[in-house]
Chain A
């Protein structure tokens, strides 16, 4: 069996007495769109927080191409190619859309004080601009480049969050509920963009409650409940999995 891009192994995260993630294991293959689903409070965001280095796990490991990355700082994890978005639109609200995307290019074009003073970084600055604009263009935000991020409508804010992540050219991007606040039309367009992204070689790990989007997009799905792994499989298998249906009480409605 080939080595997966990302591997979560017996991951446990406890907050005091509460076990938010409980010996969770799953693997994400290179080039896949991988869904992570589960009822509210199942521990999906916490799993993201551990993978991205925001929390150190209580036990277990996260491996990227075999290298253990759990316990590293979030910026160190990002430098290895794992970049995330946040569940609630987390943006630099007081910066423009363009500046938001520019921060996303930080890793590729490390700012240096001395070269900024001497003006010897014009090439880097231009390249960073180009890459930021490319990311904005991909999400249809280029026309809004000079708008304050905080003034954007909600759907555009979600898209900008992804543009910031994508400007970093990650190997794998973790998206936490990217479709909330989007109307059906926007959701459809966003799904199309994600397929394009996957085809360009970016692996996607996706947390989402919109079952229609999850089933339509994902190559593989991991379902968790109360921090534990519940089921794993392709959309067909997950949709018909009795445990999954039971977890989503009245799930027939959700797991359409």
Chain B
């Protein structure tokens, strides 16, 4: 099948998809779309070899910033979303100074601590962050009048189309970055930071670049979330959410671009269809933990390795 046709088919499926779903399933589809952006941005962060535990909090920074900018200053929501992403990137840039003095395990712990500090600030300062109760009645995307048809973004199906379009654009940007010499440099740093540095690569600057870019996209996903659900609080971005992101990435595998996305989709479908329908929703963290352990034991290279095997078998066979 030629490439162009495959993409067209995928686009058609994505357009048709919500029509076969119930209202609540459509809402889940919106969250899934936002989470795809989140987990893909997480992979961008891990390209240089550092794993962060603060990524979901950075997503929250984007959510809070975008919500406050539109609420307090009356900034047009789509613009506020972009600014929210910018604030998340800026916060990441500032955090990079203490964090990139550390590597590996220490970076992991440091990023967790930094995230908790940010969450404490949200809780502590009722003005402007709303304290533990967070922000309510966040502006939604304003209606868009196309003349013949007015788009109402309170409808999950409409918001899904909007989110899917911008997420697709974001994924395209990340893909191009990874395929560029910049991406090659990220990979080089991951595999051998000493040799990269000896080749003239400013390793610290590139780690910062990956971190800031990934945080910008995470912040944007947070903004997409905030203006859809209309209410956010510090617990929307707690460590439990971070564990979900880690599980998606690990179960999917991080060697390929699509691995974490695959993990996110498969586990969300599993979660929604199997757990919720069967009434096991409360046990989600337990089941996720179990899945993580099972996948590390039996599928250490993630779901992506299964796809790769199928694809290469197709090619040779």
Structural contact, A102 and B184, CB atoms closer than 8 A? yes
Among B177, B194, B200, B209, residue most surrounded by chain A Cβ atoms (within 10 Å): B200
Q: Does A75 contact B (CB under 8 A)?
A: yes
Known: A92-B195, A106-B201, A111-B182. 8 other contacts (CB 8 A): A75-B197, A92-B188, A92-B191, A95-B191, A99-B188, A103-B185, A116-B182, A117-B173
Across the interface, which residues of B come within 8 angstroms of A125, CB to CB? 181
* Chain B window 159-197, contacts with chain A (Cβ cutoff 8 Å), 1 for yes, 0 for no: 000000000000001001100111011011001101111
Could you tell me the distance in whole angstroms from the C-beta of A121 to the nearest C-beta in chain B?
A: 7
Candidates B177, B185, B199; contact of A117 at CB < 8 Å: B177
What is the predominant secondary structure among interface residues of chain B facing chain A? helix
CB <8 Å contact, B176 and A117: yes
Indicate if A78 sits at the interface (CB-CB under 8 A): yes
Q: A75-B202, A164-B199 are in contact. Are A113 and B182 (CB under 8 A)?
A: yes
- Smallest CB gap from B181: residue in A: A111
Q: How many residues of B contact A (CB 8 A)?
A: 24
CA distance A164 to B191 in the complex (A): 15
CA distance A102 to B203 in the complex (A): 16
Interface centre among A93, A94, A107, A165 (most CB of B within 10 A): A94
Flag whether A83 is at the interface (Cβ < 8 A): yes
Distance of B35 from chain A, by nearest CB (Å): 24
Residues of A within 8 A of B182 (CB): 111-113, 116
Known pairs A93-B191, A94-B191; A111 contacts B180 (CB<8 A): yes
Whether the pair B200, A168 counts as a contact (CB closer than 8 A) is yes
Chain B residues with Cβ below 8 Å from A103 are 184-185, 188, 195-196, 199, 201
- In the complex, are the beta carbons of A83 and B185 less than 8 A apart? no
Query: Within the assembled complex, what's the spacing in Å between the Cα atoms of A111 and B188?
Result: 13
Contacts of B191 in A (CB 8 A): 92-95
Would you call B181 and A109 a contact (CB within 8 A)?
Answer: yes
**Could you tell me if A116 and B181 are in contact, using CB atoms closer than 8 angstroms?**
yes
Docked CA distance A125–B199 (Å): 17
> With a CB–CB cut-off of 8 A, which chain A residues contact B209?
113
B297 at interface, CB cutoff 8 A? no
Residues of A within 8 A of B195 (CB): 86, 90-92, 103, 164
Interface assignment of A235: CB less than 8 Å from any CB of chain B: no
A106 touches B192 (CB 8 A): no
Known: A92-B188, A92-B191. A168 touches B199 (CB 8 A): yes
Instruction: List A contacts of B5 (CB < 8 A).
Output: none
B198 within 8 A of A: yes
Q: Which of A82-137 contact B (CB under 8 A)?
A: 83-84, 86, 90-95, 99, 102-104, 106-107, 109, 111-113, 116-117, 121, 124-125, 128
A202: interface (CB < 8 Å)? no
Among A93, A95, A113, A124, the one with the most B-chain Cβ atoms within 10 Å of its Cβ is A113
A207 to B213, CA, bound (A): 41
A92 to B209, CA, bound (A): 20
A78 B176 Cβ-Cβ under 8 A = no
Find out whether the CB atom of B199 lies under 8 angstroms from the CB atom of A83: yes
B177 & A78 in contact (Cβ 8 Å cutoff)? no
Q: Which residues of B contact A (CB under 8 A)?
A: 173, 176-177, 180-182, 184-185, 187-188, 191-192, 194-203, 209, 213
Partner of B194, one of A79, A86, A117: A86
6 closest A-B pairs by beta carbon, nearest first, are A116-B180, A111-B181, A107-B200, A78-B200, A111-B182, A74-B197
Give the residues in chain B near A75, CB-CB below 8 Å.
197-198, 200-203
A54 contacts the other chain (CB 8 A): yes
Give the distance in Å from the alpha carbon of A78 to the alpha carbon of B177 in the complex.
Answer: 25
* From B177, B187, B197, contact of A73 by CB (8 A): B197
Bound Cα distance A91, B199 (Å): 11
Asked whether B199 lies within 8 Å of A121 as measured between CB atoms, the reply is no
Q: Give me 7 A-to-B residue pairs in the complex whose CB atoms sit less than 8 angstroms apart, sorted by A's number.
A: A74-B198, A83-B198, A86-B195, A90-B192, A92-B187, A93-B192, A116-B176
Within 8 Å of chain B (Cβ to Cβ): is A203? no
**How far does the Cβ of B245 sit from chain A's closest Cβ, in whole Å?**
24
Q: Give every chain B residue within 8 A of A102 (Cβ-Cβ).
A: 181, 184
The CA-CA distance from A39 to B243 in the complex, in Å, is 52
A52 within 8 A of B: yes
